[in-house]
Amino acid sequence: MNNTTDLKRPIVGITMGDPAGIGAEITVKALSRKDIYEKSIPIVIGSREPMEDAIKFTGSALQINSIKDVSQALGEFGKIDLLDLNNIKLEDFKYGQVNTKAGQASLEYINKGIDLALEKKIAAVVTGPIHKESIKAAGSSHVGHTEIFATRTNSKDYAMMLADKELKVIHVTTHVQLRKACDLVKKERVLTVIRLAHKALQDLNVENPKIAVAGLNPHAGEGGLFGWEETEEIIPAIRLAQQEGINAEGPIPPDTVFSKVIGGQYHIVVVMYHDQGHIPMKVTGFKFNVETNKWSSMSGVNVTVGLPIIRTSVDHGVAFGKAGEGRANEESMLEAILMAINFSK
């Protein structure tokens, strides 16, 4: 990793995710793509036995290169540079089942990736899927990656952004009860997320980002007939953003705003709660084939914006129903790696 061409390839750390899920499998499949190595130096943060098993049951010809330090990475296609934490064996878990050891191992991969990014040893962290019950059983006080990264990096203003080829959304609220989410739609938070959306698009080299802000209520409140959040919280936030030179518009009724983004009128939607953003993303990015009983497409990337480090992730879970079987779709992992590379430029 000494020649000058390596200086053009960012080092991307990929956390393996929950060993009982599909994380190792989709990582192996993604790293079977030569173009990933042409654009980056990927390093997997995980454990050797689950990675070797994934290579075996997927029929891959890739080989493991175990390393103890990032500087030892070869960055060569055909070999997976693995920062082996050696914290779990195959005998310690069963595929498709909640497991405390698997949860603990996945937390350790995440923490190692965050540490390496904060130390500037890697340019970005790409996270494989974890299981909320497993990390809770392992003692985590957080419900997911977003909260773990925010806490470990002491980040106050952050947000979840989802992106695929057709659509980008960024959330004002995420993992909270729907009734509580409505109470959290406040002017200050909406303005913060508009700002985060603007910066994220600039970081992706989007010129003059156009931001759509969704309403919370049906018809975006219809002038107060169906709710007051738009007039009292969302519109004031949009006006403040416009005064800062941000090209934001809204509130736009949620039943039309996503079609406008897909059609090219805007670059991103600021959404008010979890499912308001997740449902359209998965309608556009996920395609299920009932005849084959498989997902023919699982497109989409989860990005935590507002952190001092770059973090992207797959936009799906551990898929316990197919773990260890070799039929998981790696599309989202590929897109997450490529987006991490783009943010690193």
Q: Tell me the pLDDT tens digit for each residue of 102-120.
A: 999 999 999 999 999 999 9
Cα 26 to chain center, whole Å? Answer: 14
- According to DSSP H, which parts of the chain are helical? 23-30, 34-39, 48-58, 100-118, 132-137, 145-152, 178-183, 187-203, 229, 235-243, 254-262, 274-285, 331-344
Indicate the DSSP class of residue 90. G
Q: Decide: residue 83, CB within 10 A, 0-12 exposed, 13-18 middle, 19+ buried.
A: buried
pLDDT digits (tens, 9 = 90+) for 78-105: 999 999 999 999 999 999 999 999 999 9
Predicted local confidence at residue 299, as pLDDT: 67
Alpha carbons 179 and 88: distance in angstroms, whole number: 40
Indicate the DSSP class of residue 226. S
Token pair of 156, please?
Answer: 């106050």
Beta carbons of 159 and 147 less than 8 angstroms apart: no
Alpha carbons 8 and 41: distance in angstroms, whole number: 10
**3-state helix/strand/coil string of 115-173:** HHHHCCCCCEEEECCCCHHHHHHCCCCCCCHHHHHHHHCCCCCCEEEEECCCCEEEECC
Alpha carbons 262 and 231: distance in angstroms, whole number: 26
C-alpha distances (whole Å) from 285 to each of 52, 107, 135, 315 are 30, 27, 27, 10
Q: If DSSP codes are grouped into helix, strand and coil, which group holds residue 109?
A: helix
Q: Where in the chain is the domain with CATH 3.40.718.10?
A: 4-155+307-344, 159-281
Select from 1.10.645.10, 3.20.20.100, 3.40.718.10, 3.10.180.10 the CATH code of 159-281: 3.40.718.10
Contacts of 245 (CB under 8 A, 6+ apart): none
Q: If DSSP codes are grouped into helix, strand and coil, which group holds residue 239?
A: helix
Beta carbons of 344 and 12 less than 8 angstroms apart: yes
**Closest by alpha carbon to 145, among 332, 302, 342?**
302
**Closest by alpha carbon to 78, among 15, 33, 128?**
33
Select from 3.40.718.10, 3.10.180.10, 3.30.70.600, 3.30.70.330 the CATH code of 4-155+307-344: 3.40.718.10
Q: Taking the complete model, does pTM exceed 0.85, yes or no?
A: yes
Contacts of 186 (CB under 8 A, 6+ apart): 233
- Per run of 10 residues, the mean pLDDT along the chain (length 345 residues) is 56 98 97 96 98 97 97 96 97 97 97 97 97 94 89 94 92 93 96 97 93 95 86 97 98 96 97 95 78 67 94 93 93 94 89
Token pair of 27, please?
Answer: 């990582």
Predicted local confidence at residue 291, as pLDDT: 72
Q: If DSSP codes are grouped into helix, strand and coil, which group holds residue 193?
A: helix
Alpha carbons 241 and 191: distance in angstroms, whole number: 6
Relative to beta strand 124-127, strand 11-15 is: parallel
